[in-house]
Amino acid sequence: MNNRDIIRRLETEHDLSREEAVFLLNTLGDKDEKLLADAARKTALDQFGNKIYIRGLIEISSYCKNDCYYCGIRRSNRNAVRYRLSEEQILSCCEQGYALGFRTFVLQGGEDGYFTDDRVCAIVRAIKARYPDCAVTLSLGERGEQSFRRLYEAGADRYLLRHETADRTHYEKLHPPQMRFDNRMENLRLLKSIGFQTGAGFMVGSPYQTTENLADDLLFIKAFQPQMCGIGPFVPHKDTDYRDCPHGSLRMTLILLSVIRLMNPNILLPATTALGTIDKNGRELGILHGANVVMPNLSPQEHRADYSLYDNKISTGEEAAESVALLAEKLKAIGYEIAVGRGDYQDNTN
Ligand code: SF4
């Protein structure tokens, strides 16, 4: 087994075994790393040209009933500042985003009982009525079949629910017993079967993570075939037990972005905020390693700091939706431009 052969197989067959994944992640040297990145970038260019999709992220609630051990807005964090956006505030974010050129709005929040199906459906309908040319993405956690169906019928197009880790034992180390690995996976399956363009994803370098765990994440993404996959480095939060854990590595995140691109050529793959948080060029590097989506922050400025999933989360500069011109400039400097339109997943496998 050698990495050149594995990369060649990734390029031509878009596949790799668990054993190959572990070998690659453990032994990839600088030269082959460049080969991998070049192959991933070329694959993304073949699929999407030099166009990068933008999504306007609106963080609607920092309340959450869950207590994921790594998360800064987990229920038991008394230091977290809690807020919720009203429907009017959310619509005003959309108005601002629409004027800036966004055609996808991502409503993200903790699992907050205030946002009942009735409330979220009303918000989705209001956005779709005002902006029929826009896609609405929801990222509101595990809500179960009935809720997902209602949200889909109200017009939501996409749903993001990171699986976090495809390994049950590892999942249990990151979550309290009330949160079940099987539920997470079942919710993901439901989303896809209902018809949502579905996003899964995982953290890189989370506590207790092994290379084998990452290999399983890669194989899970390949088998589940989500339309989107969000991966970013784990970044510790000061009010969690993992405060002293090191953040996930830039290098490993970039390698995994490239492998995911090669395994799933047409997947929508964001260069995440967490990547931009650990390195000021993280987002551009992500794109140069095969990512094709960025999600600048459209939340009201006064609440951005409060949606503190991890420490030092960036929300200014090109991470802020209002700085879309700056983002366009940064993309241009590396040979890319912002795509016009919703940027739906294209199933071109047939
Ligand atoms: S990771 Fe999500 S579900 Fe878990 S505590 Fe944080 S906001 Fe809640």
Identity of the residue numbered 60: I
- Alpha-carbon gap, residue 124 to 146, rounded angstroms: 16
Give the residue ranges of DSSP H helices in the chain.
3-13, 18-27, 30-48, 87-100, 117-130, 144-153, 168-174, 181-194, 211-224, 250-263, 273-278, 282-288, 301-304, 324-333
Considering the entire predicted model, what is its pTM? 0.96
Q: CB–CB of 293/158 below 8 Å?
A: no
Class of domain 19-343: alpha beta
| Domain residue limits, the chain | 19-343
Judge if the beta carbon of residue 203 lies within 6 A of ligand 1: no
Ligand 1 atom closest to residue 309's alpha carbon, by position in its atom list? 6
64 ligand 1 Cβ < 6 A:
yes
Cβ-based burial of 256 (10 A; exposed 0-12, middle 13-18, buried ≥19): buried
Q: Taking residues 277-295, what's their average pLDDT? A: 95
In the numeric block, the tokens 């595990």 are attached to 142
* pLDDT tens readout for residues 85-122: 999 999 999 999 999 999 999 999 999 999 999 999 99
Q: Is 216 helix (H, G, I), strand (E, B) or coil?
A: helix
Check if the beta carbon of residue 254 is closer than 8 Å to that of residue 278.
no
Residues in the chain: 350
Decide if pLDDT at 9 tops 80. yes
| Residue 12 one-letter amino acid | T
Predicted confidence band of residue 304 (pLDDT cuts 50, 70, 90): confident
Strands 228-233 and 56-61: unpaired
> How far is 93 from 90, CA to CA, in rounded Å?
5
Q: Ligand 1 in contact with 110 (CB < 6 A)?
A: yes
pLDDT tens-digit readout, 211-249: 999 999 999 999 999 999 999 999 999 999 999 999 999
Q: Which of 227, 319, 336 is nearest to 273 (CA)?
A: 319
Distance in Å, CA 161 to ligand 1 centroid: 11
Q: Which residue has the tokens 């390029």?
A: 11
CA of 142, closest atom in ligand 1: 3
350: confidence class by pLDDT, cuts 50, 70, 90: very low
Q: What is the pLDDT of residue 349?
A: 53
Chain centroid to Cα 268, Å, comes to: 9
Q: How far is the CA of 65 from the centre of ligand 1 (A)?
A: 8
Closest by CA to 144, choosing from 105, 186, 197, 195, is 186
pLDDT band at 319 (very low <50, low <70, confident <90, very high): confident
| Pocket probe mutation, ligand 1, options 65, 67, 71, max atoms within 8 Å of Cβ | 71
Q: Which of 62, 73, 181 to mutate to test the pocket of ligand 1 (most atoms within 8 A of CB)?
A: 73
* Nearest residue to 162 via CA among 107, 241, 217, 209: 217
Q: Give the percent of the chain with pLDDT over 90.
A: 87
| Residue among 64, 161, 172, 308 to mutate when testing ligand 1 (max atoms within 8 A of CB) | 64
Does residue 309 or residue 97 have the better pLDDT?
Answer: 97
Residues near 143 by Cβ (< 8 Å), separated by ≥ 6?
111, 117, 151, 187
Instruction: Give the Cα-Cα-Cα angle 334, 339, 345 (nearest 5 degrees).
Output: 115
- To the nearest 10°, report the CA torsion of 270, 76, 307, 119: 90
Maximum CA extent, the chain: 57
Phi first, then psi, for residue 52 (nearest 5°) are -115, 125
Dihedral angle over CA of 164, 170, 174, 179, nearest 10: 80
> For 147-172, how does the pLDDT look when each residue is reduced to its tens digit (9 = 90+)?
999 999 999 999 999 999 999 999 99
160 lines ligand 1 (CB under 6 A): no
